[in-house]
Structure 1
Amino acid sequence: MTADDSIFLGASRKPDDTYQQPERLLLKYANRHGLVTGATGTGKTVTLQILAESFSNAGVPVFCADVKGDLSGIAMMGEAKDFLLKRAEAVKLDPYEFQEFPVIFWDLFGEKGHPIRATVSEMGPLLLSRLMNLSEAQEGVLNIAFRIADEEGLLLLDMKDLQALLVNIAERSSEIGSRYGNVSKQSVGAIQRNLLVLEQQGGQNFFGEPALRIADIMRTTRDGRGAINVLAADKLMMNPRLYATFLLWLLSELFEELPEVGDPDRPKLVFFFDEAHLLFDDAPKILVDRVEQVVRLIRSKGVGVYFVTQNPLDVPETVLSQLGNRVQHALRAYTPREQKAVKTAAETFRPNPEFDCFEAITQLGVGEALVSTLEAKGIPSIVQRTLIRPPASRLGPLSDAERAKIMNESPVSGQYDETIDRESAFEILQKRATDKVKAEEEAAQRETEQGAVEGRSRWTLPDFDDGASPSRTTTTRRTTKTTTRRTSNRQSVTEAAVKSVVRSVGSSLGRALVRGILGSIKKGL
């Protein structure tokens, strides 16, 4: 099914309705990307399956999404069935041998595969804005949040980190706005609401650690076959924006992490993007430009990207022009849009004088396709009407027990199953808030204590000769004789006699008498 330098796709149909000439995809040009299109039920999934099998046998790891669950059967050996045997005979596939392939199952929700995660920082503000469908102003606030996180050393790992950071910048909006521009609480609130929606759709399962290591999807077995990474996407398709954003993130990570290798003899990895239209539906121009950039440049990293979709119009022209290897299954041409799609598909092929591409696309049977691959010097081959070869693995999904067994034997079993929650922005900002509250309470307590001391210092005691307090003096005036005696014991006899006389005198005669007495006492001294 594979030669040393090519992949056998099937056999081309001749005018006498026989299939003779083998159609092959040269491994040397497999990283020049490709396109698999066709209406529902025309055989796209089987084509994806035989491509994944062939790349694996050639030692090339594969990453693909299993949208309907049918692709999981690639992990089990195929079974001899009449229609498969007839197909093998028609395309002259001899010998036709059944195989099982090394498969690693992944699932963003951790249900039908190993959990697959990314951190918020790795996702970045552009893809997050796309994921949450933010406005331009809201995207600007999100960019500011990421800038603040970088400056202050705040790790953004999971959703609660980003939520805590948004609360923090809302509280500091005046300070931050003077440096980076307006940070309105309305925009922050809108982002928080979108984060809540994303969380309810399962986003909290995707963001966090341990994050996916690119090396784990680029494994090979001891016998030299490439691992086939199958992403369970049947549940993920309920949130198509998350699905598309995740795959675009993975492409971006591959682009950033892999070294330049030029044009290798075979790809380092082949990436199948099923339901590719979800990536481009309502996508802003900046995002389409990003996809185009990644597709154009990732070839030099040794990565081949193959878009799988129903209609070639689903892929923007700027991206479509980068796809050199093409497999076109049947399309319908009943509506004006369908007719335009057929015309677009027909015009992208190098024409074959033996048939009309437009008519052939509408007449292809199940399992048939128009195939054009890159030949020597990267020139597209003349399009051929081709019967796709049968797969070597099982057609149809695995049972739950079979899937569980393969997951237990997986080389990454146990590496991603448990979530790690280390100190990051949430914990740091929470500690800052706690320390701030504690400092404010201590400052308030010191102020209260200082105020009490100052209040006491404002009250002074009167200067009484007997050292008594005002209350004691008042009381002394109304005390019994016993109390008076206790008070006079603290005075000399002469002073007590003088004060007693002074208190009893109320007239000028008394005052004169006192002066006389005091004078006689003074002379006697």
Structure 2
Amino acid sequence: MSDKEKFFAHIEKGYSTKGDFITMGAAMLDGQTMTGAHIKVPLKTLNRHGLIAGATGTGKTKTLQVIAENLSDKGIPVLLMDLKGDLSGIAQPSPGNPKIEERHQAIGIPFEAKGFPVEIMSLSEQNGVRLRATVSEFGPTLLSRILDLTVTQEGIVAVVFKYCDDHKLPLLDLKDFKKVLQYATGEGRKEFQASYGRMSTSSTGSILRKIIELEQQGADLFFGEKSFDVEDLVRIDENGRGYINIIRLTDIQDRPKLFSTFMLSLLAEIYATFPEQGDSEKPELILFIDEAHLIFSQASKALLDQIESIVKLIRSKGIGLYFVTQNPTDVPEAVLSQLGLKVQHALRAFTAKDRKAIKLTAENYPISEYYDTKEVLTSLGIGEALVSALDEKGRPTPLAATMLRAPMSRMDVLTDTELQSLLGASSLIKKYNDEVDRESAYEILNEKIEKAEKQAEKEKASRSTAGRSSGRRSTRMNPVVKVLTSATFIRGVLGVLKKVIR
């Protein structure tokens, strides 16, 4: 048996599967594509999370697009973070070209062009389904993590939430939370101290400053009603295909705090809402987090701990998380160790730091007798990647340099007309885009303060009137008092007393 035949058998055995799967492409050896040596990833292990990494321009976004399309075809909904604004074309079929046909002939898979069911979403004022959450839904622990608070400040946040629960004050947006903080150290100080203990004005001031920082990154648009129901992420269309939900984030690339706030709240809500399902035949939902370094680069240790915990636990809910970034070292080791599918595009070695990163990256992959991993990482072409997955028993598959299949949908953005047509047909826009501002803690406390001020003014006026009335009655209606307090009477009495003393 030749070396190529041995390699082919090696791939066939390592990627064989009895259950349903998605096909990534065909394995490569010595730069040649092994037609028919398909790299198959079982649906059963896709909730074990994954990584798509590689230098700029090596094809990460197209790989993300390919996986999302194939998941949708298998009836698995997808959520994509579109920070570069180039994923909306998934809604339209690919126009195709000779290079795509040539690639698929080499892989041994016929090319089929088609569009997919897409829902456009937004965190900001961009067109799309508005994604919002209330402060109450965040809860004190998650809000404290996002704000990177001290233990003392976390305690204050917990007390604020408790006070609002006890007094039925809805915490919907950030102005509600700020109002309660101000009330706790202002007009309502005595009320808070009596029931919940004293709050330091320096601590509440520090919390307020951090909330203002969050608002400056656009969080005031995110917090509020109507809250997005995460069940709407797992919709299936009339043809049995999962919806591909695309969140447009092109205008918040420079606001990592808002991005990480949204991501953490979304993951926490999904984890709290979705039922346990253990190891099922296919995942419930797959999330792709593009430019993942934005989550990790400015995250506090407390926030990183929270993310790591969710990554470890959310798998049992049937949820898969896929991080897309330039270098695997952008992802913390505790998270990286949880990722089952790794698709590594080419890395570039321009500096000593780059070479060190390549060496570290190579060590994250299974040892292979067919590849020098460090060398392959720098020689892969566009649309080629090293792939390592998990088989149906959770074991790592053989490392395979892979010629990846091309997307079936358009590798470009929608035109304005196509986008408006897609948005016009959305049922979720009608459900979520009417802003609601019902009575909440802000309005209730303002009304309470206003009533207290009016009552205080009324009591003050009443006391002032009573004092003036009392003074007039004592001099006008009681002449005895007037005589007894006169200077003549006092002098007369003192004279009598002097005579008595003598």
- Cα drift, residue 448 of structure 1: 2.5
Amino acid paired to 1:274: D
- Give the equivalent residue in structure 2 for 1:142: 157
Percent identity (aligned): 43
SS of 2:431's equivalent in the other structure is coil
| 1:333 and 2:354 matched | no
Distance 2:421 2:388 in 1: 39
- Give the equivalent residue in structure 2 for 1:454: 470
Amino acid paired to 2:117: P
- Give the equivalent residue in structure 1 for 2:83: 67
Q: Is the Cα contact below 8 Å between 1:117 and 1:207 reproduced in 2?
A: yes
Matching residue within 2, 7, 10 for 2:25? 10
- Give the equivalent residue in structure 2 for 1:417: 433
Q: Is the Cα contact below 8 Å between 2:128 and 2:429 reproduced in 1?
A: no
- Cα drift, residue 373 of structure 1: 0.9
Q: Is the Cα contact below 8 Å between 1:269 and 1:304 reproduced in 2?
A: yes
The correspondence of residues 196-215 of structure 1 with structure 2, limited to 5 A, is 196-215=212-231
Q: Is the Cα contact below 8 Å between 1:131 and 1:242 reproduced in 2?
A: no
- Cα drift, residue 141 of structure 1: 3.4
Amino acid paired to 2:235: R
**Quick check: 333-342 or 161-170, which moved more?**
333-342
1:75/1:253 Cα in 2 relative to 1: closer, same or farther (>3 Å)? same
- Give the equivalent residue in structure 1 for 2:235: 219
Q: Is the Cα contact below 8 Å between 1:31 and 1:299 reproduced in 2?
A: yes
| 1:101 and 2:91 matched | no
Matching residue within 114, 123, 129 for 1:114? 129
Unaligned runs of 5+ in 2: 1-16, 484-502
**Quick check: 267-276 or 199-208, which moved more?**
199-208
Instruction: Summarize deviations over 1:164-186 as a string: whole Å, max 9, x none.
Output: 11211121456646766663323
- Give the equivalent residue in structure 2 for 1:378: 394
Distance 2:423 2:249 in 1: 16
1:314/1:434 Cα in 2 relative to 1: closer, same or farther (>3 Å)? same
1:194/1:401 Cα in 2 relative to 1: closer, same or farther (>3 Å)? farther
Q: Is the Cα contact below 8 Å between 1:127 and 1:245 reproduced in 2?
A: no
**Quick check: 3-12 or 154-163, which moved more?**
3-12
| 1:90 and 2:101 matched | no
Amino acid paired to 2:71: F
- Cα drift, residue 8 of structure 1: 0.8
SS of 1:376's equivalent in the other structure is coil
Distance 1:130 1:113 in 2: 28
Matching residue within 303, 308, 314 for 1:298? 314
Amino acid paired to 2:176: D
Amino acid paired to 1:314: D
Instruction: Summarize deviations over 1:467-490 as a string: whole Å, max 9, x none.
Output: xx99xxxxxxxxxxxxxxxxxxxx
The correspondence of residues 246-395 of structure 1 with structure 2, limited to 5 A, is 246-395=262-411
1:462/1:365 Cα in 2 relative to 1: closer, same or farther (>3 Å)? closer
- Cα drift, residue 320 of structure 1: 1.0
Instruction: Summarize deviations over 1:341-381 as a string: whole Å, max 9, x none.
Output: 22222122222201111111111111110001111310010
Unaligned runs of 5+ in 1: 464-468, 471-525
Q: Is the Cα contact below 8 Å between 2:134 and 2:224 reproduced in 1?
A: yes
1:64/1:16 Cα in 2 relative to 1: closer, same or farther (>3 Å)? closer
Distance 2:434 2:473 in 1: 64
Distance 1:83 1:133 in 2: 50
SS of 1:415's equivalent in the other structure is helix
- Cα drift, residue 249 of structure 1: 1.1
- Cα drift, residue 129 of structure 1: 4.1
Amino acid paired to 1:156: L
Q: Is the Cα contact below 8 Å between 1:349 and 1:372 reproduced in 2?
A: yes
Matching residue within 66, 70, 75 for 1:50? 66
Matching residue within 157, 162, 166 for 1:151? 166
SS of 1:148's equivalent in the other structure is helix
- Cα drift, residue 404 of structure 1: 1.3
- Give the equivalent residue in structure 1 for 2:421: 405
Q: Is the Cα contact below 8 Å between 1:4 and 1:58 reproduced in 2?
A: no
CA RMSD for the aligned pairs?
2.3
SS of 1:369's equivalent in the other structure is strand
Amino acid paired to 1:64: L
Distance 1:339 1:420 in 2: 53
SS of 2:38's equivalent in the other structure is strand
**Quick check: 176-185 or 152-161, which moved more?**
176-185
Q: Is the Cα contact below 8 Å between 2:423 and 2:429 reproduced in 1?
A: yes
Distance 2:479 2:313 in 1: 93
1:3/1:221 Cα in 2 relative to 1: closer, same or farther (>3 Å)? farther
SS of 1:259's equivalent in the other structure is coil
Distance 1:346 1:201 in 2: 37
Distance 1:299 1:114 in 2: 26
Distance 1:452 1:384 in 2: 96
Q: Is the Cα contact below 8 Å between 1:110 and 1:116 reproduced in 2?
A: no
1:42/1:271 Cα in 2 relative to 1: closer, same or farther (>3 Å)? same
Instruction: Summarize deviations over 1:445-468 as a string: whole Å, max 9, x none.
Output: 3223332342233233448xxxxx
Q: Is the Cα contact below 8 Å between 1:120 and 1:157 reproduced in 2?
A: yes
Matching residue within 407, 428, 436 for 2:452? 436
- Give the equivalent residue in structure 1 for 2:139: 124
Distance 2:479 2:194 in 1: 58
SS of 2:57's equivalent in the other structure is coil
Instruction: Summarize deviations over 1:95-146 as a string: whole Å, max 9, x none.
Output: x111110000001113131211111122234444454455555444333323
The correspondence of residues 230-249 of structure 1 with structure 2, limited to 5 A, is 230-249=246-265
Q: Is the Cα contact below 8 Å between 1:64 and 1:272 reproduced in 2?
A: yes
1:461/1:347 Cα in 2 relative to 1: closer, same or farther (>3 Å)? closer
Amino acid paired to 1:292: E
SS of 2:185's equivalent in the other structure is helix
Distance 1:129 1:405 in 2: 41
Instruction: Summarize deviations over 1:383-441 as a string: whole Å, max 9, x none.
Output: 10001100000001112221111011113131111100111111110111011112112
1:134/1:289 Cα in 2 relative to 1: closer, same or farther (>3 Å)? closer
- Give the equivalent residue in structure 1 for 2:34: 19
Distance 1:32 1:16 in 2: 30
- Cα drift, residue 195 of structure 1: 2.9
Amino acid paired to 1:343: K
Matching residue within 23, 37, 41 for 2:57? 41
1:200/1:18 Cα in 2 relative to 1: closer, same or farther (>3 Å)? closer
